[in-house]
């Protein structure tokens, strides 16, 4: 081998090292994205449970002449984002279903069932995380 000449084995070793490091990087990025999606789904699930509980327990106000329940819907904390994020919430009084979704960079959807209290009006039917849900006796 002459001075300044690179051997074929050395070139192959460098290529293999680059492929291995690239593969590890792809796996790590994939794991971070899976963790992020899991965190968002878990928070949507928690927000949905809170909404279902507040709607279902408002049935105790059925004996009152007038009633007003105001619930501040929390925003979700997305890993890697500096600010809390809003999500979309759809409340279907007919079926007693709450659908929560977050679609910025991922598609996370959670559905929750609730007991629809009779004689109570829930507004708005389409809300966002960070908004206010109002339940009134109608």
Q: pLDDT tens-digit profile of 30-45? A: 888 888 888 888 988 9
Domain that holds residue 70: 8-137
43 within domain boundaries: yes
Q: pLDDT tens-digit profile of 67-110? A: 788 889 898 888 888 888 888 898 888 888 888 888 877 778 88
98 within domain boundaries: yes
67 within domain boundaries: yes
* Residue 1: predicted pLDDT: 58
12 within domain boundaries: yes
Q: How many structural domains compose the chain? A: 1
* Residue 17: predicted pLDDT: 93
DSSP 8-state secondary structure symbol assigned to residue 15: H
Strand duo 97-102 + 120-123: pairing = unpaired
1 within domain boundaries: no
39 within domain boundaries: yes
Q: Tell me if the pTM is above 0.95.
A: no
2 within domain boundaries: no
3 within domain boundaries: no
């Amino acid at each position: 081998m002459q001075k300044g000449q690179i051997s074929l084995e050395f070139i192959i070793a460098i290529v293999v090292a680059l492929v291995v490091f690239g593969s590890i990087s792809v796996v790590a990025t994939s794991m971070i994205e899976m963790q992020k999606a899991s965190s968002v789904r878990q928070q949507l699930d928690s927000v949905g449970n809170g909404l279902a509980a507040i709607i279902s327990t408002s049935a105790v106000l059925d004996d009152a002449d007038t009633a007003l329940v105001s619930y501040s819907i929390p925003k979700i904390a997305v890993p890697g984002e500096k600010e809390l994020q809003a999500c979309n919430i759809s409340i279907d009084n007919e079926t007693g279903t709450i659908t929560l979704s977050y679609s910025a960079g991922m598609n996370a959807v959670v559905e929750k069932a609730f007991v629809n209290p009779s004689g109570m009006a829930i507004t708005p039917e389409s809300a966002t995380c960070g908004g206010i849900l109002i339940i009134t006796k109608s």
